[in-house]
Amino acid sequence: MNGNSDFPYEINEVEPEELAELQKTFNLAFTDGYVRVGPKGYFVRSGYRKEAAKIYNMSLRPDDIWVVTFPKSGTTWVQELVWMVANDFDYVKSSSIPLVDRFPFLEMSTIVNSDKAQAKMKELCGGNKKHMEIAEMLTKSVSLAEQLPSPRFIKTHLPLTLLPPSLLDTTKVVYVARDARDVAVSYFHHYKLMTFMGYYGDFKDYWASFVKGDVEDCPYFEHVKEFWEQRQHPNLLFLFYEDLLKDLPAGVRRVAQFLGKHPSEAQVTALSEYLTFDNFKKNKSVNFEVFKELGWSDKNMSFMRKGKAGDWRDYFDAEMAAQAQQWIDDNLRGTDLCFPEHDPK
């Protein structure tokens, strides 16, 4: 598909040979496959075709607040942080309304809008009317986001070039970046967790796919660098996951300043405690329990896993670590992008 006046980028099917190779480790039964988008070849589900122009031309509002990340970069954590600060620390409302309703995932419909996906959803719902209604709603995520009352809170994993061109000039955007190796480990477990992703390879296979760009929303570094290049824009707050782990109160203050809020130190302290990993993992409002209810995720696994930096060292052998460092160096060469050092312990 060539770009047109509604959407400027080409959308190309992943070659059959490459798809067949992927199917050795990725269970693609829940989708119609993958496509690559634009000159950077962003790897997304084929259902993106139906939503590309709608997302790109989406109407924006000055009071929108978006959280954008490459997947598994601390997205849910930062969504809750941003929502709480923007809503004056309303713990009652936060606990009573799931995060997925307060801060919806824009492109969810691209995952579940194909005929195969919808057939699989019906199978997993097993005739449960409530579950079917939830599943049906997820197929309309873009339309529902457009209809949200202001102020809207929107989460997306799409790169900047695939989002509305006036995004940064119109809305507030918080972007979070995380060490690519930790992202890959966390994303691997996410693929294992979500039954509709159905990954059945090992981590070494997964890492090879990640580096090659055959994992959703890759290439990773292009995603990060697009936002890094805009980090001085007054409507963009660029955060590193590792910095938040090291000093969460400082992160809360940065978000508050960005959003024009003036919390007391007591409020900052209380929110930081609320957002500690142990507390966050127990918080049913943010743990996507609905996916377990729908049969979409493994009931024996948790959406929140470890919430730490440097976990990749437990998964990379010496050869993989050296290869990963070379890959990182190659991708950062010529940029001033530098990820924070973190304590390997």
- The residues that are catalytic are 157
Q: Structure tokens of 61?
A: 């509002």
Angle between helices 115-125 and 129-138 (to 10 degrees): 150
Q: Which bin fits 172, alpha (ψ -120 to 50), beta or left (φ > 0)?
A: beta
Contact 99, 283 (CB under 8 A): no
**Residue 66, H or E segment:** strand 65-69
DSSP at 148: P
Token reading at 96: 């009573």
Give, in order, the Cα–Cα distances in Å from 11 to each of 15, 73, 114, 116, 239.
12, 26, 16, 20, 30
**3-state SS of the chain: helix, strand, coil percent to 5?**
50, 10, 40
Tell me, rounded to whole angstroms, the distance of Cα 14 from its chain centroid.
22
- Terminal-residue alpha carbon distance, the chain: 48
Two tokens at 277?
A: 């990993």
Q: What is the dihedral of CA 329, 330, 336, 338, to 10 degrees?
A: -30
Task: DSSP for 112-127, please give it.
Answer: H-SHHHHHHHHHHHTT
